[in-house]
Amino acid sequence: MYGYDITPTSANLKCNTCGHSEPFKPTTKEDALVLETNFRSGSSAGGAASGITVNAYTRQDPTLPHVKTISCRNGECPSIANADLRDVIYIKTDPTNLKFQYICNVCESQWTN
């Protein structure tokens, strides 16, 4: 079974059994996609105005992407004064129109684009 060995400068496919590694060279954008999760609005679990369920455990989900380049919208967030603290989780809520829901992992503020 192959796994991914990703560094800031390269991406390799690596065998989890024998350790063999080879460069990951996708030929199409679909080949380059490692993981995409599509959320449906109106789920039985409820949801926010965007239709996506965000609860106390969302921030602890290790499968959600984190970025340090987006500033929090909360003017009182400590990450505004110290950019090293930035940690924003983003969830794609509308793949067609590229709408995202953002969650600041510092002050727990949420917003959408």
Q: What are phi and psi of 42, to 5 degrees?
A: 75, 30
Q: pTM for the complete prediction?
A: 0.59
Collapse the DSSP code of 60 into the 3-class scheme (helix H, G, I; strand E, B; otherwise coil) and give the result. Answer: helix
Per the document, the length of the chain is 113
Instruction: Please enumerate in sequence order all residues whose Cβ is within 8 A of that of 21, keeping only pairs 6 or more positions apart, or say none.
Output: 5, 12, 13, 14, 15
CB 91 within 8 A of CB 101: yes
Instruction: Please enumerate in sequence order all residues whose Cβ is within 8 A of that of 82, keeping only pairs 6 or more positions apart, or say none.
Output: none
Collapse the DSSP code of 47 into the 3-class scheme (helix H, G, I; strand E, B; otherwise coil) and give the result. Answer: coil
Both tokens assigned to 56: 């106390």
The DSSP element (H or E) to which 19 belongs, if any, is: none
Ordered structural domains, the chain, with CATH: 1-32 (no CATH), 35-112 (2.20.25)
Q: What is the pLDDT of residue 76?
A: 96
Q: What is the pLDDT of residues 42-97, one digit of tens each?
A: 544 444 444 556 777 888 888 889 999 999 999 999 999 999 999 999 988 888 88
Q: 106 or 23: whose pLDDT is higher?
A: 106
